[in-house]
Structure 1
Amino acid sequence: MTTALAAGARGPEVVRTASGAIRVTGGAVSAALAGIGGLHAVWARSPWPLKTRADFADAVVGVGEEQLPGPALCLGVAGLLGAASYLVGARAGVLPATGPAWLRAVGAGTVGGVLVARGLGGPALAGRDRGGRRDRDERSDRFRRLDRRYYSPLCVALGAGAAVVAVRGR
């Protein structure tokens, strides 16, 4: 945070504002989360940008087409990502803030923790197979390759950005 002096009736007082770097970080993380949330909303009805549901199931979820989550779950995740986007953006000062500041700080910190855990723990944190075992080994080779290369690093990067905003934002 940066500090600025504001002239008051009793003399100068320190006013805390979010630094430019925090605003940029928070804006980027918030925009990415909103975009990913929008993509999940699209996935409730379409396998876009892939051509078939089978291809989508293999690349994005790592399961067979018959095991794809339903539209309600996709929309639920989209809603959670929208809320996460708001919490990070409001904490960074790039979206209008409502409610208590501590709630935005805790919310943005939770977003950061969940995303870092997903990135480091992989998709096994998101679900279990019918026997209660972790399902990472059940995922397709294509998904595991994409997860290692793109999905998990993106989660860690967005989570780290959200955590920084939670600690340093306003």
Structure 2
Amino acid sequence: MTTVVRTVVPAVLTVALVVIGGLHLIWAFSPWPLADEVSFTRTVLGSDSGEMPPPALSALVGLALIAGAVLTLMVNGTIPQIGPGRLRTLGSYALALVLLGRGLGGFLLNSGATSEFQRWNTALYSPLCVVLGLLGGVVAVAASKR
């Protein structure tokens, strides 16, 4: 079990955060993989506005997710550690709580949202955030015990 916590859990969390962060960076410039901005806002934002979020905001979220991946690798000891250990550990708990918060609280976002968003949020977005939050919690707890 220790091997899984030290290798598989951080690896899965890191890859997922980098991929999702990369998508947010792409969304700063394009609605890809959706066909157009209206499809994007209906499916990803739950809005009929057709207005993409400000590029800086999408990029900020993307960079924050990638930073979470880097933090995961640091607290796991996979890459060189920067800063105080307590701060890194606190950051990993914060990452887990934010992801869990989005996952559990995300179901509240369905109210008043487009049907496309409700479907994707219920089937993928919120459950994925819960799983990633739990993985982040495992990483944080393991880091606390070292």
The two structures have a TM-score, normalised by structure 1, of 0.78
Superposition deviation, residue 93 in structure 1: 2.3
Superposition deviation, residue 92 in structure 1: 1.8
- CA deviation vs aligned residue, 1:30-87 (integer Å, no higher than 9, x gap): 1111111111000011111111111111111111244431111101101111211111
Structure 1 residues without counterparts, runs of 5 or longer = 2-18, 125-134
Mapped contact 1:53–1:65 kept (Cα < 8 A): no
Superposition deviation, residue 100 in structure 1: 1.6
Give the equivalent residue in structure 2 for 1:4: none
Give distance in 2, aligned partners of 1:51 and 1:136: 22
Give distance in 2, aligned partners of 1:37 and 1:74: 9
Give distance in 2, aligned partners of 1:36 and 1:94: 21
Give the equivalent residue in structure 1 for 2:119: 145
Percent identity of the aligned residues? 39
Give distance in 2, aligned partners of 1:27 and 1:108: 14
1:120 aligns with 2:74: no
User: Which residues of 2 match residues 75-154 of structure 1 at below 5 A?
Assistant: 75-122=59-106, 124=108, 136-154=110-128
Mapped contact 1:26–1:94 kept (Cα < 8 A): no
Give the equivalent residue in structure 1 for 2:4: 21
Which stretch shows the higher mean deviation, 149-158 or 136-145? Answer: 136-145
Aligned residues: 143
**Larger strand proportion, structure 1 or 2?**
1
Mapped contact 2:37–2:51 kept (Cα < 8 A): no
Structure 2 residues without counterparts, runs of 5 or longer = none
Give distance in 2, aligned partners of 1:54 and 1:40: 17
Mapped contact 1:27–1:94 kept (Cα < 8 A): no
Larger Rg over CA atoms: 1
Mapped contact 1:43–1:74 kept (Cα < 8 A): yes
1:43/1:56 CA distance change after superposition, 3 Å: same
Give the equivalent residue in structure 1 for 2:47: 63
Q: CA RMSD in A?
A: 1.8
